[in-house]
A and B are shown apart, each in its own frame.
Chain A
Amino acid sequence: MPAAGAEAGIGYGIDRRHRVALLAGLLPALLLLVALTLAPALYLFVISLTPATPTNPASLTDFSAPAQNYVSALGDERFIESLWVQIKLSVSTVAVQTALGLGVALLLNRGGRLVGALRTIFLIPTVLPPIVAALIWKVLYTPDVSPLHRALASVGVPVASLITNPDTALWAIAVADTWQWFPFTMLIILAALQVVPREPLEAATVDGASPLQLFLYVVLPFIRPAIVIAALFRLIDSVKAFPLIYVLTSGGPGTATQVTNYYAFTQAFNYAYWGYASAISVMLTAAVFVLSALIGSRGAKAAGHE
């Protein structure tokens, strides 16, 4: 119905007088969004070009060596190592969370009141305040307190703390992260499963397809875009993992769990290298934006698919 108006770039029934009124409604939000998101982003970039640190106010406007922070980062072993830690954590958690989320979504994709209740219960870890999730796992990973550690000790297989061992700390965090976030992928995939059309399923069933064949050749093609989007969201959010690392290991032992985001945080707020931390944040943000653009195009495709 509103096609003609849309073509002119103006909604149906909206004249000039209305346009002024509409602009008045739109502008405050736009200005506030610019002030809150675009301006800080630009400011971050500007700081990244300086050696800013709180003890020397002049450093905030010292642009004598604008690329210095970026050059330093490339030669900073701890920064490079933090990228490796990040990649290990991101790849492992995204893979496991996507698989687990898909599995549980398939199990929950049927009718019944009990299943309906389970769908809501399974969401809890993801909506829980992240700090509470971190607290829960702090309890589970502290040997004197943890029911798991004490149960294992009482049957004669004591296990030393996993989060103070550099070989296991990152994987312990990955397990906690998976507990917290697999419901996210589950939720997205479940939503896609529920709109898989019936006809092809019924046709394939009549033709004698096995459940595995049904899944691989009928269901999977329909839900693939949702799986990809869910994984991409998790990939981006995995870059921001913070409360778990802060509470469980503080980036340690040594630098075993120091992801890039955490490294930037310590550089900025423990050592007050604001300029350097800003440069790392700029690179991190740029990486995230590239991935977001990917979601933007994928999302449009997924929507077009439905």
Chain B
Amino acid sequence: MSEEPHPVAAGRPASRRKPAGRVLANAALALAFLFVVVPIAWLAQMSLRPNEDILGYRLLFTPTLDHYSSLLEGKFLRYFLNSVLSSSLSTAIALLVGTPAAYVLSRWRFRGQRHVALWVLSTRMAPQIAFTIPFFLFFRRVGLNDTVWGLALIYLTFNLALVIWMMRSFFDAVPRALEEAAWLDGCGIWTAFLRITLPLAAPGLAATAVLCFIFSWNDFFYALILTRTNAMTAPVAIVNFMQYEGWEWGKMAAGGTLVMLPVLVFTVLVRRWLVSGLMAGGIKD
């Protein structure tokens, strides 16, 4: 992990800049800020506007939760739960299977290590359609299409590699002396892992879990193809508001806001690890 508390090196010349340059830089930042934030804020405010004023401009309006309550009256809650279930399930399995493997890869250096990194990178890079066709055919045969389990399984294609990649670097940071002392005391390797190493890597485990959850939660492509009505997730449901129920902008905006809220909260929590999470396999930690 490259998170040494480095001073903001190149920031020094910037602060010595002449006032004119400073003003220009701040203006550019303000513009970029508007470019990023206004579109998101627009969606959020639409979700609170009453239907008769859905396209209104006035900043002062009486917010209403009508769109949210109409979402809950429909089946949206169920689709939302499907998203929660498939993402949590996939995250849990990935952690359960991937964490021990990450530990082994951290402690037991062998010659093929570079290939593991490349493999992880490949699963991150492969176009989803390449996985979707085989999984679709396989699921059709075994009856996993349109199930939460099926989704959780295909999310493992990226989650498992992510867990192995992230946790390995977290375990690298835990000193070996403690667990080796435990081994000498006759403690089994996995007992020592559970009692000593894993608790020390707990913050890393939490960060990894959150990243897995976000990446599964954000999926649209797999759920679009591998689910219909039973296991449909919230992102797919929102698009269906558009296509089958006409243009219900308020409802769409409310659904979109609900889907992005958990991600916003989680992002603040895992900001520090986002670089390694987004680029898993691509850079050496």
Contact = CB atoms under 8 A, between A and B. Distances in A.
A binds B: yes
Interface of A: 2, 5-6, 9-14, 18-19, 21-23, 25-26, 28-30, 32-33, 36-37, 39-41, 43-44, 47, 60, 103-104, 106-111, 118, 120-132, 135-140, 144-145, 147, 150, 179, 183-184, 187-188, 191, 193-198, 201-202, 205, 211, 214, 219, 229, 233, 236, 239-240, 242-243, 246-247, 261, 264-265, 268-269, 274, 277-278, 281-282, 284-285, 288-289, 291-293, 295-296, 299-300, 302-303, 306
Nearest to A243: B220
Q: Specify the main secondary structure of chain B where it touches its partner.
A: helix
A33 B160 contact: yes
B9 A268 contact: no
Contact of B107 (A14, A137, A145): A14
Interface string B123-138: 1011111111111011
A12 B176 contact: yes
5 contacts: A21-B189, A28-B100, A179-B35, A196-B10, A201-B13
A190 to B, nearest CB: 9
A188 B275 contact: yes
A205 B109 CA distance: 44
B260 A128 contact: yes
Interface stretch (B21-29, B66-74, B142-150, B200-208): B21-29
B110 interface: yes
B104 A26 contact: yes
Contacts of A240: 127-128
B79 interface: no
Nearest to A191: B275
A269 B137 CA distance: 12
Contacts of B128: 240, 242
Contacts of B101: 25-26, 28-30
B127 A107 contact: no
Contacts of B121: 292, 295-296
A37 B188 CA distance: 32
B267 A120 contact: yes
B98 A29 contact: yes
Interface in B95-114: 97-98, 100-101, 103-105, 107-111
B238 interface: yes
Contacts of A265: 129
B100 A284 contact: no
A262 to B, nearest CB: 9
B174 interface: no
B58 interface: no
Nearest to A110: B11
A28 to B, nearest CB: 5
